């Protein structure tokens, strides 16, 4: 099913260039004995026309993926950040609510004035810039962009298969909100759908779950973390357990749409760990991703050392 979907869907631009960049990045990290995590982030679009004017989208802004990436980097991982274009990005996200021109000032009495950062933003900017420059210097972050569902799925396959050579040292952290329904290429109109033709009825097909080939074929030795998003708390854990049973991967991060920044559950086949944030922690600007990533790092280490013992 997944292979057929990939064969029949459009391939993203410059796929082979992107594959080489991912391979080079992984080889470099391997030489330095660093663990690598693939973080997926943001929503996927589903085009309604081949020459796309309209598409179906979802709510995800990529906050989970972008913040988790920073914490993985702090924990010593190298990160491949597979993200939706225009979703939140690590480091830049700290200024996403700002017009960057409002952070800057000129000396109005001096026509040759340099641009300066306003004093009230200095401390925050210095802090983020320092971390960003450190990551640039160490070469531990690779940004890979997608927009549509098919871009995402092709790139997920490329990144996952490239990670195979790392064995258990690779982690996949699949936080992207991937569309479950799509219009196959051969059923998609070429040109813009005309409103003059009257009300629109859409028939969407099910997208095959990529977790299946990912775990079985693309990267079978890696530590795979999927996400489960629900709006009904009564089915959250049972759905997560079903996913673990069906795909045989290591862990599900289970979250509810409304409370996803305050509480999540880390579900494995035989444990369920609640991770929560107090009001005080949230008011101090602490983020739940810091706790999630710490916990995953320790579970991943145990998973890797199990390999050494066997
Ligand atoms: O980006 P934010 O706004 O910060 O929000 C974060 C989040 C809520 C999007 C994130 O925490 C989250 O829950 N992401 C997963 C949402 C989701 O797609 O859940 P799902 O139950 O539909 O899918 C479960 C898993 O199946 C996912 O890990 C996904 O990678 C995988 N999947 C989905 C579709 C598909 N065709 N193949 C898949 O393998």
**pLDDT value at 307 more than 80:** no
CA of residue 256 to ligand 1 center, whole Å: 11
Q: How confident is the model at residue 176 (pLDDT cuts 50, 70, 90)?
A: very high
Residue 309: what pLDDT?
Answer: 59
Residue with tokens 């450190």: 134
Residue 108: what pLDDT?
Answer: 86
* HEC sequence for the chain: CHHHHHHHCCCCCCHHHHHHHHHHHHHHHHHCCCCEEEEEECECEEECCCCCCCEECCCCCCHHHHHHHHHHHHCCCEEEEEEECCCCCCCHHHHCCCCHHHHEECCCCCCCCCCEECHHHHHHHHHHHHHHHHHHHHCCEEEEEECEHHHHHHHHHHHHHHHHHHHHHEEEEECCECCCEECCHHHCCCCCCCHHHCCCCCCCEECCCCHHHHHHHHCCCCEEEEEEEECCHHHHHHHHHHHHHHHCCCEEEEEECCCCCCEEEEECCCCEEEEECCHHHHHCCCCHHHHHHHHHHHHHHHHHHHHHHC
Residue 239's CB: how many other CB atoms inside 10 A?
A: 15
Q: Which atom of ligand 1 is the closest one to the Cα of 63?
A: 4
Give the Cα separation of 171 and 189 in Å (integer).
39
Percent of the residues in the chain that have a pLDDT greater than 90, as a whole number: 94
Q: Which atom of ligand 1 is the closest one to the Cα of 67?
A: 4
Residue 207 Cβ < 6 Å to ligand 1: yes
Q: Over the stretch 70-120, which tens digit does the pLDDT of each residue have?
A: 999 999 999 999 999 999 999 999 999 999 999 999 998 898 999 999 999
CA of residue 60 to ligand 1 center, whole Å: 9
Residue 140 Cβ < 6 Å to ligand 1: no
Which of these, 173, 247, 201, 207, lies nearest to 44 by C-alpha position?
A: 207
Residue 78 backbone dihedrals phi, psi, to 5 degrees: -95, 145
Mean pLDDT of the chain: 96
Give the Cα separation of 164 and 301 in Å (integer).
17
Residue 210 Cβ < 6 Å to ligand 1: yes
Residue 172: what pLDDT?
Answer: 98
CA of residue 120 to ligand 1 center, whole Å: 37
**pLDDT value at 272 more than 60:** yes
Residue 306: what pLDDT?
Answer: 79
Strand-pairing partners, residue 281, are none
**pLDDT value at 1 more than 90:** no
Residue with tokens 């993203």: 12
The domain locations on the chain are: 2-95+122-191+202-309
Q: Which residue has the higher pLDDT, 107 or 252?
A: 252
Q: Are 176 and 40 in contact (CB under 8 A)?
A: yes
Residue 310: what pLDDT?
Answer: 55
Residue 41: what pLDDT?
Answer: 98
Question: Best substitution site from 81, 173, 177 to test ligand 1's pocket, by max atoms within 8 Å of Cβ?
Answer: 177
Q: Which atom of ligand 1 is the closest one to the Cα of 210?
A: 39
Pick the CATH number of 2-95+122-191+202-309 from 3.40.50.1970, 3.40.50.2300, 3.40.50.300, 3.40.50.10300: 3.40.50.10300
Q: What is the model's pTM?
A: 0.96
Percent of the residues in the chain that have a pLDDT greater than 70, as a whole number: 99
Q: Are 58 and 43 in contact (CB under 8 A)?
A: yes
For the chain, what is the radius of gyration of the CA atoms?
21
Give the Cα separation of 178 and 150 in Å (integer).
10
**pLDDT value at 123 more than 80:** yes
CA of 245: how far to CAs of 167, 234, 252, 254, in Å?
22, 19, 11, 15
The mean-pLDDT minimum among 109-113, 144-148, 160-164, 223-227 falls in 109-113
Q: Which atom of ligand 1 is the closest one to the Cα of 61?
A: 3
Which of these, 259, 256, 258, 251, lies nearest to 293 by C-alpha position?
A: 251
Give the Cα separation of 174 and 178 in Å (integer).
9
Q: Over the stretch 183-193, which tens digit does the pLDDT of each residue have?
A: 998 899 999 99
CA of residue 41 to ligand 1 center, whole Å: 9
Residue 9 Cβ < 6 Å to ligand 1: no
């Amino acid at each position: 099913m997944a292979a057929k979907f990939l064969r029949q869907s459009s391939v993203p631009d410059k796929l082979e260039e992107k594959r080489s960049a991912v391979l080079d990045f992984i080889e470099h990290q391997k030489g330095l004995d660093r663990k690598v995590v693939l973080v997926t982030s943001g929503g996927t679009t589903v085009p309604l026309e081949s020459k796309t004017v309209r598409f179906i989208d979802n709510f995800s802004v990529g906050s989970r993926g972008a913040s988790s990436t920073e914490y993985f980097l702090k924990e010593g991982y190298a990160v491949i950040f597979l993200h939706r274009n225009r979703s939140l990005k690590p480091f830049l996200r700290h200024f996403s609510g700002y017009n960057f021109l409002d952070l800057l000032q000129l000396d109005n009495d001096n026509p040759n004035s340099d641009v300066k950062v306003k004093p009230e933003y200095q401390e925050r900017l210095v802090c983020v810039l320092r971390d960003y420059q450190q990551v640039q210097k160490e070469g531990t972050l690779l940004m890979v962009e997608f927009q549509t569902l098919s871009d995402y799925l092709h790139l997920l396959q490329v990144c996952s298969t490239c990670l195979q050579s790392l064995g258990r040292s690779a982690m996949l952290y699949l936080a992207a909100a991937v569309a479950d329904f799509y219009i196959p290429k051969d059923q998609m109109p070429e040109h813009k759908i005309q409103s003059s033709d009257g009300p629109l009825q859409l028939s969407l097909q099910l997208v095959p779950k990529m977790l299946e080939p990912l775990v079985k074929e693309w990267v079978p030795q890696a530590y795979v973390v999927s996400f489960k998003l629900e709006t009904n708390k009564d089915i959250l854990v049972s759905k997560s357990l079903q996913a673990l049973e069906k795909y045989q991967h290591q862990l599900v991060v289970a979250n509810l749409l409304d409370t996803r920044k305050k509480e999540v559950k880390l579900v494995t086949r035989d444990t369920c760990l609640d991770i929560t944030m107090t009001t005080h922690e949230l008011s101090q600007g602490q983020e739940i991703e810091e706790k999630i990533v710490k916990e995953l790092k320790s579970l991943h280490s145990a998973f890797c050392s199990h390999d050494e013992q066997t």
